[in-house]
Structure 1
Amino acid sequence: MAGTVAGMAAYLRARIDKGTLVPGNKLPPTGALMKQFNLSDNAVYRGIALLKAEGYLVSQQGKGVFVADRRKLIAGDQRIRGITQPGETIHHKSSTRVPAPAWVAAQLGEGECVNRVRTVQRGDFVLQASQSWVHVDVAAIVPEVDLPEACDPTWQAVYQDRSGNAVTVSSKTMDARITTPEDREALLLDDDFAVLVMRSIYVTGDKVIGVGEGVYAPGHPLSIS
């Protein structure tokens, strides 16, 4: 009995959502997919085109079709609502009151802030290591920022909901660097690599209430928007 394009797409979509297929995995060749799903080559191409349009797959010229990383390095409302995709989990490491580092103090102001440290993982693979430095005034409205656990979905979203004050990202910068010892420890790396680093500044009105830094695992394809 012949298969269907929808059936093939649904099967692959489910495996990606569950994390059985992870970003960077290469799809089998067309012939193998034809045999697996009992489809013509044209039907396989249409199924792959559908999943590409949905952001599940991406082609690399001369190499094949791969599972895409659908996380976006984004600012604004989407990032404030959360950054994980299906199959990914946030592991909150710590929340500590610390003096603001110099580059953070330049945005947040001198003095104490809350340093929140976490990783985003798919299984045992660390996709991202991030830190936030949050203004202490936020803790009066979102006391959870002082607790060693994740806010649901993010501290920015909770603050916005409880205070009624919109939170936006006033700027976003992206750069690359060679891993620091802290990067290697957080990303579970044994050697030095070049990593992508994104810094974001969160504001409500004209007041900066937080600064974030995300370090992304080397060799992990990312879509930037």
Structure 2
Amino acid sequence: MPSASPTVLGALDPTSDRAVFRQIADQLREAIDKGRFKEGDKLPSEAELVEHYGVSRMTVRNSLSVLQGEGLVVSEHGKGVFVRPRPPVRRLASDRFARRHRQQGKSAFTVEAEAAGSRPEVDSLEVKEERPTQEISTRLGGPRRVLARRRRYLLDGRPVEFAVSYLPLDLASETPIAEPNPGPGGIYARLEENGHRLDHFDEEVCARMPSPQEAKTLRLAAGVPVIHLIRTAYDTEGRAVEVCDTVMAADAYVLAYQLPAT
């Protein structure tokens, strides 16, 4: 793929007190933000930027490092530096767990992927009984053992989130929930079939930088944060029937809400 032309970039301001490498990073960032360099485009090569700005190769590399640290570009060895694709998934928090989706045999992730025109996948699936942390146990009402379902979600082959669902053993063991594939509609459909009609979900959301393991699992570029979400599902009797601990690539999601005004 040929490099995008550096002609869309401006000139340096010799009177500015801003470091030269940061001026170059500012111009590249602006070109990306305004769509002059689109997602997947190859940026001008180091040699082209050196010639355009009349600076050293090290100055150009420092500029590109700034953009990599912000998660705007990704470097591919031997190929160049590319504008990082950021296909957003619109996560409709007020609709994603609607019962009609489960009745259609679809999980929330499948619904969102289809709306985004993407191909959903689940891998790295692990289902096992284990001792929960104190926090998870407290949220579930104090069980000493739970069924944990770990999985990673991908869109068009790209990892975008991973999650762990924790369920009390009396609700999950010896049911399809303990199987790798719990069936159409996922674990919430199975819970409702077993008499635990869902009433509401409580979610806590925060943004932070990923741990090294999280960055590896989600294949995150440097500088890309994650969204950390903990959800507790309650049935109509007020019992917590599941806690889901989810980590999402922040550049892959738009969190959308509809809130009543009354």
TM-score normalised to structure 1 length: 0.61
2:89 counterpart SS class:
coil
Question: Which residue identity lines up with residue 78 of structure 1 in the other structure?
Answer: A
Instruction: Give the alignment partner of residue 154 of structure 2, picking from 97, 118, 121.
Output: 121
Percent of pairs identical after alignment?
Answer: 15
Q: Report whether the alignment pairs 1:172 with 2:203.
A: yes
* Alignment partner, residue 234 of structure 2: 203
1:138 — aligned with what? 171
Paired residue for 1:186, among 197, 204, 217?
Answer: 217
Contact kept, 8 Å, 1:88 with 1:123, in 2: the verdict is yes
Q: What 5-or-longer segments of structure 2 have no aligned partner?
A: 1-37, 40-85, 258-262
Structure with max Cα Rg: 2
Which structure shows the higher strand fraction?
1
Matched, 1:72 2:92: yes
Shift of 1:200: 0.8
Please, which runs of 5 or more residues in structure 1 have no aligned partner? Answer: 1-24, 27-65
Give me the CA root mean square deviation: 2.7
Contact kept, 8 Å, 1:172 with 1:198, in 2: the verdict is yes
Distance 2:167 2:156 in 1: 28
CA 74–92 in structure 1, closer or farther in 2 if over 3 Å, else same: farther
Q: Provide runs of 4+ in structure 1 moved above 6 Å.
A: none
- Distance change in 2, residues 1:221/1:165 (3 Å): closer
Relative to structure 1, the CA distance from residue 94 to residue 136 in structure 2 (aligned partners, 3 Å threshold; closer, same or farther) is same
Name the aligned partner's letter for residue 242 of structure 2. G
Alpha-carbon contact 1:120-1:127 (below 8 Å) kept: yes
CA–CA distance in 2 between the matches of 1:210 and 1:105? 10
**Residues 1:67 and 1:145: Cα distance change in structure 2 (over 3 Å):** closer
1:224–1:156 Cα change, 3 Å: same
Closer/same/farther in 2, CA of residues 124 and 76 from structure 1, 3 Å limit: closer
Deviation at 1:184, TM superposition (A): 2.3
Map 1:3-152 onto structure 2 (within 5 A): 68-74=88-94, 77-78=97-98, 81=102, 82-83=107-108, 84=110, 85-86=113-114, 87-91=119-123, 93-108=125-140, 109-140=142-173, 143-152=175-184
Which amino acid in 1 is paired with 2:91?
Answer: R
3-state SS of the aligned residue for 1:114? strand
State how far apart, in whole Å, the 1-side matches of 2:143 and 2:195 are: 26
Supply the AA of the counterpart residue of 1:135: P
1: CA distance between counterparts of 2:187 and 2:94?
17
